[in-house]
Amino acid sequence: MKKLLLLPVSWLLTLAANAQTTFPVNGVADPRSGCYAFINATIIKDPATTLQKATLLIKEGKVVSVGNGTPPADAVVIDCKGRFIYPSLIDIYSDYGISAPQRSSDAFDYTAPQQFSSATKGAYNWNQAIKSETNAADLFSTDDGKAQPLREMGFGTVLSHYKDGIARGTGVVATLSAKKENLVIIKERAAAFYSFSKGSSRQSYPSSTMGAVALLRQNYLDAQWYKTRPAKEGINKTLEAWNEQQALPQIFETTDKWAGLRADQVGDEFGVQYIIKGGGNEYQRIHEIAATKAPYILSLNFPDAQKVEDPADARFIAWKDLAHWELAPTNPATFEKQKIPFALTAADLKDPKTFWPNLRKAILAGLSAKTALEALTTTPATFLKIADRVGRLEPGYLANFLITNGELFAEKTTLLENWIQGERYDINAKNSTGLTGQYALRITGAGGVTEYQLEVKNNSLATVKTNEALTTKFSSDGNLVSISFSLKPTTKVIGTGQKDSVFENKQAGALIRLSGVNYGDSWQGVGANEKGLPVSWVATLTKTTAAGKDSARQVWEQPEARVVYPFSSYGNTRLPEQETILIKSATVWTNETGGKQEQTDVLVKNGKIAQIGKGIAAAGARVIDGAGKHLTPGIIDEHSHIAVFSINEGAQSVTSEVRIGDNLNPDDINIYRQLSGGVTTSQILHGSANTIGGQSQLIKLRWGADAEGLKFKGADPFIKFALGENVKRTTVTQGNNRYPDTRMGVYEVLNDAFQRARDYEKALKSGDKTIRRDLELDALVEILNHKRFITCHSYVQSEILGLIHIAEKYGFKVNTFTHILEGYKVADRIRQHGANVSTFSDWWAYKTEVQDAIPYNAALMQQLGLNVCINSDDAEMARRLNQEAAKTIKYGGVSEEDALKMVTLNPAKALHIDNRVGSIKVGKDADLVLWSDHPLSIYARAMYTLVDGAIYFNREQDREGRVQAATERNRLLQKMLSAGKNGAATVPAKPTAQVVLHCEEHEQSAGVLDVDAFDL
C-alpha cells in the first residue's frame, strides 16, 4: 500500500528533476524534448483567429508552430478530431502560491487603546499598511492542491500577489505547472498592488476610507522626496521599493463603484493610471467609470439568490440588493458596451465550480464570447506586458492551452485537458471518452452466459436492463469500470419520472459485482455473481447516444430592473433638470429687507431666482400654486455627517490631511430623506474623535449626482476641529493612551500644530528644497493664511476661550464654533473674536460637558449679536431643522423671521456662501422649499424642494413612486423565489444595513438596521 501511495509523488519528482539544468540528477539523465503534435483540431489561436483542421506543434514547453504543416517525425501525434484548442486562461487577480495574510481575529475596536506605530520589524515604512517591500515572487511556492482547481477552471497562468495592505508590493506571474518554482515563474515583478483597506495592520492609522486616501497621497509625496536621499529619513526600504515599482502596471483593488472612481482620482493626482479591480456594481455608474479611462478587472462573483420565503426576512432586504442580484451578471457586458478594456478573474468566487456557470450567465446577459475570451487571455496579458508570451498560441509562446470537446463557452462543452508549459493536466479527458451509449453486457460464469443491456448515461450513471427493473451502481473514471446490480428488484422507487427506476444500493437484493477496464468500444473484466462465484464479462458498444442536457442549467431571464440614479429606492431614471418654474401667490420668506411677503410670485429660471413680485407671468413656465403655502430658502445644515463612507479618522490627534470630499457616498438615502425636509445644502464635517480633524465638504443635495456633482463648487474650504470629551476619548473603556487626555493637553496639541505649521511655512518660503511636503501641515498653513476656515466642535467655556487664545496667538480667526452649548456663557468674548456659532436647539445632559447646556443658548447668543445657526449633526433631525429653529421662539423669544434665518441665511453667512444661497433674492441660486404650512410650525411639510432650479423632491411624486417601488420589490422577490425553486444556489436572507454616521456625539433613533461608523 505504501508503495502505491508513493507512486504519484515520485512521478512528479521525475518531472521536476528532468527540467532544471543546475540541479544534479540522482540516477540516469532523462532528457526529453516534450514534442507533441495535436492534429485535426479546431485551433483558436487568439480570440480573433480560428483555424480549422489545424495542427499545434509544441516542444520544450513552447509552441513551435500553429498551422497546417505535417508534424515532424519525433513528435508524439495526438489526433484531436472534433476537439477545440484554446490558449489557457490567465487570472490576473490571484493569490495562488502565496500564503494568506495573518489576520487578527478581532476587528478594530474603537474603545481600545491605540497602536501608533508599525509592528513590522526592520527599516521599513512608518505605516504598517504600506507594504511596498513585499514581493510576491519571494513568497511564492507552487501548490498543486491549489493549482488543480484553477487548472480545472481552465487557467494556465496567474498573477499572484499578497492581498494585504494599502500598498501591497509586487505581484508575480507564474504558470500553474507543477514544476519547480524556478521554472514556473515567468515574470518576477509584473505589477504593483494597492487598495483602500489596511488589511492585517493593527496600527490605528488609518481608521477610515479618507484616511487611507490621505495615506496614499502622502506616500506618493514621501516617495518623491525620498529620491533626494534625505538624511533625516535614513534608509526606508519601503519607499525605495515603492519608487522602483512605479514603472510597473499599477493595480488597485476596490470593492465598490465609488471606490473605483476614488482610486482613479488619486491616480490622476500623481499621473498614475491604475488598472482597477472592480467591486461588481460598476454598471450602476458606468458613464462615470468610462470617463476615467481606467482599465478594469472584474470578478464573476455574482450574488446568490436569498431565501426570501419569510416576509419577515424579505422585508429587511433593500431594493438595491434585490436589483443588484438581478443585474450583477450584466456588469461585464456593460463594460463591453462602453468599450472599457477589462480582464475577468475568478477571484472572490466562494466556489470555483461557479466560475463557468457565472461566465455563461455574463454571456447570456450580453457579453460577447470573443470579449469574454479576450478578458481571460489577451487582455490580461496586455495589461501585464506579457502579451508576447502568453494569452495566445503563436510560435515561441508558452505551450499553455486547453483541449475541449466544443466551443469553450457552450454549455455542453467539457474541458478535457489543460496543458501548461507543455505538460498535460487531465481535467475531464477520461471521463468524457465516449462512455455514453448502449452496451451489450455478456456475463460468463459457471452456470453459462447471461446477456443484459447496459445503458450508460455518464461516468457515474448507468442502468442494466432486462425484463425486470434492476438496481444499478456504476462508476468509471474513463479507464477503470465498476458495475454492480441486483437481480431482485425492490419496490421502492427513488427516482421519479424516469423510465428506468434507480434504487439505492442498500435496498437492492443480492448484487452482481463487476470490475474491468474500458478498452474503447469494448469493456472487459471479471467479477462475482450474486452468489459470490467468479464470472468474467464483456460489454460491447451497440449504439452511441448524445450527451444529456446539463441538468444544473439555470434558467436565465433578462433582468427588468432599471439602473436609476442613485442606485437606491427613490432613485430617478434621469437626473432632475432645471426648469422654468413659477410659484404663484405664496407667502414668501425672503430673509431680505422685504421680509415676509404675502401672496407673492417667484420665478425660477436657469437655476436662479429670476423674479420676485406680484402677478408675474412667464410663458412656458411650470406653474406651482403657492396659495396658502409658504416659500422659504432651502435649509442649510451647518453640521451634517450624511452621504459619506467614513467620518472619523480618529487614529491621531492631528489629521488635517484627511478630506471628507474624498469619500462622498452619493447613494445615501438620507440625502433624499433630508430633501423631504427641505434641506438643500449641508456641510459634511469630519467627526469629533480628534483635536484637528479632517477637511470639510460642502454639498448640495443633488440626489442622483455623483460625488463630484454633489460638491458645492466655488465655496471656501473648511476644516473641522474638536475640543473636550470626545477628543480626550472619555468613553474609551480600556484606557486612553492617545495624547491629549485633558483640556490642558488639547490646548497644547493646538499650540504645537500651529507652531509646526508656522515653522514649516517659513522653511518652505526660504526655498529649502529638502523640506518634505506635508499635507497635514499644508492644511494648517492654509488656516494661518486665511485660506481655510475652522468649524470647531466645542462645548464648555474654558475650551472656547482656549481656542480663541490659540487663534489670536497665531493670527487667525475661528470661523465657527459648532455645538457650542456653553457659548452663552462667553458670548461676549466670541463676539469680540468674531466667530459664528452653530448650536443645537435643546440637547443637554448626554454627557458631562453638556450639563450646563440650555435651550436658551441660541437666543442669548443672538441677543449678544452673534451670527447664530441651528444645526443637526443627526440624519433624522436634519429633516426637521425648521422645527428646531422654531424652538428658539419658545426658548428665548426669537422672532419668527430670525428663527428661520438660523437654518437658512445665518449658516449661509457662516459658510461664506450667502452671496449664492440663504435668502430669496433675484440672482441667487434657486434653492427653495414650498411648505404646506407656516414653515416654523410642526405641521409644515415640504411639498417641493428645489436645488438649482430643479425639483429634487415633490411630495406628490414621492407618493406615486411608493406604489411603483412596491410593485418592483414584489417582482424581484418573486423572481428570487422562483430562482430558488429552479435550483439556483440560495443563501440566508441578508438584511441591508443602513449606515448612519455621526460624530461620536449621541444616540440616534435610526431604526434597527442602523450600523455605526465605528462598527465598520
Partner 1 sequence: MKRFIYIFLLFLAVPAMAQDDIYPAKKQTGTIIIHNGTIHTGTGLVIPQGTVIVKDGKIQKVGDRPENIAGATVIDAAGKHVYPGLILTSTDLGLREILSGVRGSNDYYELGDYNPDVRSVVAYNADSKVINTLRSNGILLANVAPSGRFLTGTSSVVQLDAWSWEDALYTADIGMFLNLPALFRSPRSSGSDPVKEDMKKIEALKAFFGEAKAYLKGTERRETNLKFEAMRPLFEQKQQLFINADISRQILMAIDLAKTFGIRVVIVGGSDSYLLADLLKQNHIPVILNSIHALPTMEDDDVDQPFKTPAILQKAGVLFALNDNEGSSRYRNLAFFAGTATAYGLSKEEALQAVTLNAARILGIENQTGSLEAGKDANIVIATGDILDMKSSVVTDALIQGRRIDLNNKHKQLYERYRHKYQLQ
Smallest gap from residue 603 Cβ to partner 1 (A)? 29
Enclosing H/E stretch for 699? strand 697-700
Which one of 227, 352, 938, 960 is in contact with partner 1 (CB under 8 A)? 938
Structure-block grid coordinates of residue 985: 444556489
Contact status: 66 vs partner 1 (CB under 8 A): no
**How deeply is 867 buried, as exposed, middle or buried, from its count of CB atoms within 10 A (0-12, 13-18, 19+)?**
buried
What are residue 292's phi and psi, to 5 degrees? -75, -20
Contact status: 419 vs partner 1 (CB under 8 A): no
Structure-block grid coordinates of residue 817: 464654533
Residue closer to partner 1, measured from CB, 312 or 546: 312
Contact status: 994 vs partner 1 (CB under 8 A): yes
What are residue 248's phi and psi, to 5 degrees? -80, 165
Residue closer to partner 1, measured from CB, 528 or 854: 854
Give the C-alpha separation, 607 to 875, whole Å. Answer: 26
Q: Using CA of residue 853, residue 859, residue 863, residue 869, what is the dihedral sign?
A: positive
Residue closer to partner 1, measured from CB, 48 or 938: 938
Closest CA to 704 of 967, 513, 948: 948
Contact status: 256 vs partner 1 (CB under 8 A): no
Q: Using CA of residue 894, residue 895, residue 900, residue 905, what is the dihedral sign?
A: negative
Give the C-alpha separation, 948 to 967, whole Å. Answer: 32
Structure-block grid coordinates of residue 660: 471628507
**How deeply is 270 buried, as exposed, middle or buried, from its count of CB atoms within 10 A (0-12, 13-18, 19+)?**
middle
Smallest gap from residue 725 Cβ to partner 1 (A)? 6
Which one of 852, 984, 985, 986 is in contact with partner 1 (CB under 8 A)? 852
Structure-block grid coordinates of residue 961: 413612486
Task: Please count the other Cβ atoms lying within 10 Å of the Cβ belonging to residue 894.
Answer: 23
Contact status: 608 vs partner 1 (CB under 8 A): no
Q: Which span (54-62, 64-72, 143-151, 995-1003) binds partner 1, by CB under 8 A?
A: 995-1003
Q: Which span (182-190, 501-509, 713-721, 849-857) binds partner 1, by CB under 8 A?
A: 849-857
Contact status: 997 vs partner 1 (CB under 8 A): no
Residue closer to partner 1, measured from CB, 118 or 882: 882
Contact status: 987 vs partner 1 (CB under 8 A): no
**At a CB cut-off of 8 Å and minimum separation 6, what does 210 contact?**
645, 646, 649, 658, 659, 660, 662, 663, 694
Give the C-alpha separation, 630 to 896, whole Å. Answer: 13
Residue closer to partner 1, measured from CB, 568 or 600: 568
Smallest gap from residue 288 Cβ to partner 1 (A)? 22
Smallest gap from residue 1007 Cβ to partner 1 (A)? 4
Smallest gap from residue 689 Cβ to partner 1 (A)? 14
Footprint (CB under 8 A) of partner 1, residues 642-671: 669-670
Local structure of residue 61 (DSSP, 8 states): T
Footprint (CB under 8 A) of partner 1, residues 99-138: none
Evaluate whether 412 touches 498 at the Cβ level (below 8 Å): no
Structure-block grid coordinates of residue 756: 509646526
Structure-block grid coordinates of residue 963: 406604489
Strand partners, 455: 438, 463
How many Cα atoms within 13 Å fall on the side-chain side of residue 959? 4
Closest CA to 194 of 118, 297, 115: 297
Give the C-alpha separation, 274 to 316, whole Å. Answer: 36
Which one of 242, 843, 944, 1014 is in contact with partner 1 (CB under 8 A)? 843
Contact status: 848 vs partner 1 (CB under 8 A): yes
**At a CB cut-off of 8 Å and minimum separation 6, what does 232 contact?**
none
Residue closer to partner 1, measured from CB, 410 or 985: 985
Which one of 470, 679, 886, 951 is in contact with partner 1 (CB under 8 A)? 886
Footprint (CB under 8 A) of partner 1, residues 312-341: 312-313, 315-316, 318-320
Which one of 883, 904, 945, 954 is in contact with partner 1 (CB under 8 A)? 883
Contact status: 957 vs partner 1 (CB under 8 A): no
Give the binding-site size for partner 1 (rule: CB under 8 A): 84
Give the C-alpha separation, 443 to 514, whole Å. Answer: 9
Which one of 257, 887, 921, 975 is in contact with partner 1 (CB under 8 A)? 887
Smallest gap from residue 144 Cβ to partner 1 (A)? 31
Give the C-alpha separation, 678 to 927, whole Å. Answer: 9
Which one of 74, 939, 956, 964 is in contact with partner 1 (CB under 8 A)? 939
Contact status: 845 vs partner 1 (CB under 8 A): yes
Smallest gap from residue 895 Cβ to partner 1 (A)? 11
Which one of 244, 844, 971, 980 is in contact with partner 1 (CB under 8 A)? 844
Contact status: 12 vs partner 1 (CB under 8 A): no
Give the C-alpha separation, 504 to 486, whole Å. Answer: 11
Local structure of residue 278 (DSSP, 8 states): -
Residue closer to partner 1, measured from CB, 528 or 1016: 1016
Footprint (CB under 8 A) of partner 1, residues 728-747: 730-731
Contact status: 686 vs partner 1 (CB under 8 A): no
Please name the residue ranges forming H helices in 870-1011: 881-890, 896-901, 905-910, 955-981
Contact status: 74 vs partner 1 (CB under 8 A): no
Contact status: 96 vs partner 1 (CB under 8 A): no
SS3 content of the chain, % helix, strand, coil (to 5): 30, 25, 45
Residue closer to partner 1, measured from CB, 313 or 716: 313
Q: Which span (6-14, 601-609, 914-922, 984-992) binds partner 1, by CB under 8 A?
A: 984-992
Residue closer to partner 1, measured from CB, 10 or 992: 992
Give the C-alpha separation, 778 to 126, whole Å. Answer: 20
Q: Which span (340-348, 712-720, 848-856, 901-909) binds partner 1, by CB under 8 A?
A: 848-856
Evaluate whether 744 touches 758 at the Cβ level (below 8 Å): no
Contact status: 864 vs partner 1 (CB under 8 A): yes
Give the chain's end-to-end CA distance (angstroms, integer).
53
Which one of 604, 936, 946, 947 is in contact with partner 1 (CB under 8 A)? 936
Which one of 290, 440, 965, 977 is in contact with partner 1 (CB under 8 A)? 965
Contact status: 676 vs partner 1 (CB under 8 A): yes
Contact status: 876 vs partner 1 (CB under 8 A): yes
**At a CB cut-off of 8 Å and minimum separation 6, what does 102 contact?**
200
Residue closer to partner 1, measured from CB, 213 or 671: 671
**At a CB cut-off of 8 Å and minimum separation 6, what does 30 contact?**
14, 17, 18
Closest CA to 504 of 520, 518, 492: 492
Contact status: 229 vs partner 1 (CB under 8 A): no
Smallest gap from residue 672 Cβ to partner 1 (A)? 7
Evaluate whether 285 touches 257 at the Cβ level (below 8 Å): yes
Contact status: 672 vs partner 1 (CB under 8 A): yes
Q: Which span (95-103, 180-188, 236-244, 724-732) binds partner 1, by CB under 8 A?
A: 724-732
Which one of 5, 9, 73, 1008 is in contact with partner 1 (CB under 8 A)? 1008
Cis peptide before 740 (omega within 30 of 0): yes
Contact status: 243 vs partner 1 (CB under 8 A): no
Footprint (CB under 8 A) of partner 1, residues 540-599: 568-570
Evaluate whether 830 touches 800 at the Cβ level (below 8 Å): yes
Contact status: 989 vs partner 1 (CB under 8 A): yes
Smallest gap from residue 313 Cβ to partner 1 (A)? 7
Give me the 822-841 binding string for partner 1, x by CB under 8 A, dash otherwise.
Answer: --xx-xx-----------x-
Which one of 889, 977, 984, 985 is in contact with partner 1 (CB under 8 A)? 889
